[in-house]
């Protein structure tokens, strides 16, 4: 059975949608652990209530990012994951960490990458006057918010949108596409090939 480790920093709404979807669809995979860099992350309680093992690697306990990332990688490796899923994990990861999990580390970003990398994506989309916005699931590389795109979802930007309203609409789409992307990767429907994600299904 394939194994997933999810990393969170807060409530973990994408984690929760993945748990719900995995249970409803009876995935032939298990969420082996949920790990947070914050001891008070609300998502840890949600995972524990669902019977999923949890762990904390507090970034404040380490002198620098290299030490933290080494400790985090060691914690993750205990669970022997086939896929490491970032779900609102608010730490920039070092190149060593990313390379260690190359091809197994994925993230969801609240924009249609390569547009609006970084923070404040929804307000920046509104300020830029774009007509469409969305979310992107991608493999993580050492370049922030880059890496091969696995899945995307699009939402319209309305004239009267503020950042909060747009964010809520994007989050709904995140909850749909992230579990689907994870399932398709674990079941081999999508594979990373030559720096791009391709479908193995014949159309």
pLDDT, position 166: 98
Neighbours of 197 (CB within 10 A): 21
Question: Using CB atoms within 10 A of its CB, is residue 49 exposed (0-12), middle (13-18) or buried (19+)?
Answer: exposed
- Long-range pairs, 188-195, Cβ under 8 A, ≥24: 190/150, 192/103, 192/139, 192/148, 195/148
CB of 54 within 8 A of CB of 23?
A: no
Whether 172 is covered by a domain: the verdict is: yes
71 and 28 in a common domain: yes
CB of 122 within 8 A of CB of 110?
A: yes
Look at residues 101, 128, 157 and tell me which one is the last residue of a structural domain: 101
pLDDT, position 203: 57
Residue 202 pLDDT > 80, yes or no?
A: no
Residue 66 pLDDT > 70, yes or no?
A: yes
67 and 34 in a common domain: yes
Neighbours of 147 (CB within 10 A): 23
CB of 135 within 8 A of CB of 109?
A: yes
Q: Structurally, how many domains does the chain consist of?
A: 2
Whether 179 is covered by a domain: the verdict is: yes
* Cis peptide bond N-terminal to 114, omega within 30: yes
Q: What is the pTM of this model?
A: 0.96
Whether 194 is covered by a domain: the verdict is: yes
pLDDT digits (tens, 9 = 90+) for 93-137: 999 999 999 999 999 999 999 999 999 999 999 999 999 999 999
Residue 153 pLDDT > 60, yes or no?
A: yes
- Rounded Cα distance, 172 and 66, in Å: 34
CATH of the domain at 68: 3.40.50.170
Query: Token pair of 202, please?
Result: 């014949």
113 and 91 in a common domain: no
97 and 113 in a common domain: no
Whether 143 is covered by a domain: the verdict is: no
Q: Distances in Å between the alpha carbon of 196 and those of 151, 166, 183, 186?
A: 11, 29, 18, 16
180 and 84 in a common domain: no
Sign of the C-alpha dihedral computed for residues 10, 183, 173 and 193 taken in this order: positive
- Mean pLDDT, residues 143-160: 96
64 and 125 in a common domain: no
In order, the DSSP letters of 48-60 are: HHTT--EEE--GG
Q: How does residue 201 score in pLDDT terms, banded at 50, 70 and 90?
A: confident
pLDDT, position 186: 96
CB of 33 within 8 A of CB of 6?
A: yes
pLDDT digits (tens, 9 = 90+) for 155-170: 999 999 999 999 999 9
pLDDT digits (tens, 9 = 90+) for 16-60: 999 999 999 999 999 999 999 999 999 999 999 999 999 999 999
167 and 75 in a common domain: no
Could you identify the residue written with the tokens 């994870």? 182
Percent of the chain with pLDDT over 70: 99
Whether 82 is covered by a domain: the verdict is: yes
54 and 113 in a common domain: no
CA atoms within 13 A on the CB side of 42: 7
In the set 100, 109, 133, 175, the catalytic residue is 109
Boundaries of domain holding 53: 1-101
Told to judge if 109 belongs to the known catalytic residues of this protein, a careful annotator would answer yes
97 and 10 in a common domain: yes
pLDDT, position 70: 98
180 and 96 in a common domain: no
94 and 2 in a common domain: yes
Q: Report the chain's mean pLDDT, rounded to a whole number.
A: 96
Whether 141 is covered by a domain: the verdict is: no
- Mean pLDDT, residues 2-6: 98
Whether 191 is covered by a domain: the verdict is: yes
115 and 70 in a common domain: no
Q: How does residue 144 score in pLDDT terms, banded at 50, 70 and 90?
A: confident
């Amino acid at each position: 059975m394939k194994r997933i480790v999810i990393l969170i920093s807060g409530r973990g709404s994408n984690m929760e949608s993945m748990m719900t979807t995995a249970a409803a669809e009876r995935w032939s995979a298990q969420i082996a652990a949920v790990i947070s860099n914050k001891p008070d992350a609300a998502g840890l309680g949600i995972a524990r209530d669902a019977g999923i093992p949890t762990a904390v690697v507090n970034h404040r306990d380490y002198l620098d990012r290299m030490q933290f990332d080494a400790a985090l990688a060691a914690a993750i490796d205990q669970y022997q994951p086939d896929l490491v899923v970032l779900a609102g994990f608010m730490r920039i990861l070092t190149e060593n960490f990313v390379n260690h999990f190359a091809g197994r580390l994925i993230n969801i970003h609240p924009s249609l990458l390569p547009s609006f990398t970084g923070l404040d994506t929804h307000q920046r989309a509104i300020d830029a006057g774009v007509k469409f916005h969305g979310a992107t699931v991608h493999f993580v590389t050492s370049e922030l918010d880059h890496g091969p795109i696995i899945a995307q979802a699009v939402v319209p930007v309305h004239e009267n949108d503020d950042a909060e309203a747009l964010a809520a609409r994007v989050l709904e789409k995140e909850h749909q596409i992230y579990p689907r992307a994870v399932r398709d990767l674990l079941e081999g429907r999508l594979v990373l090939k030559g720096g791009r994600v391709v479908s193995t299904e014949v159309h």
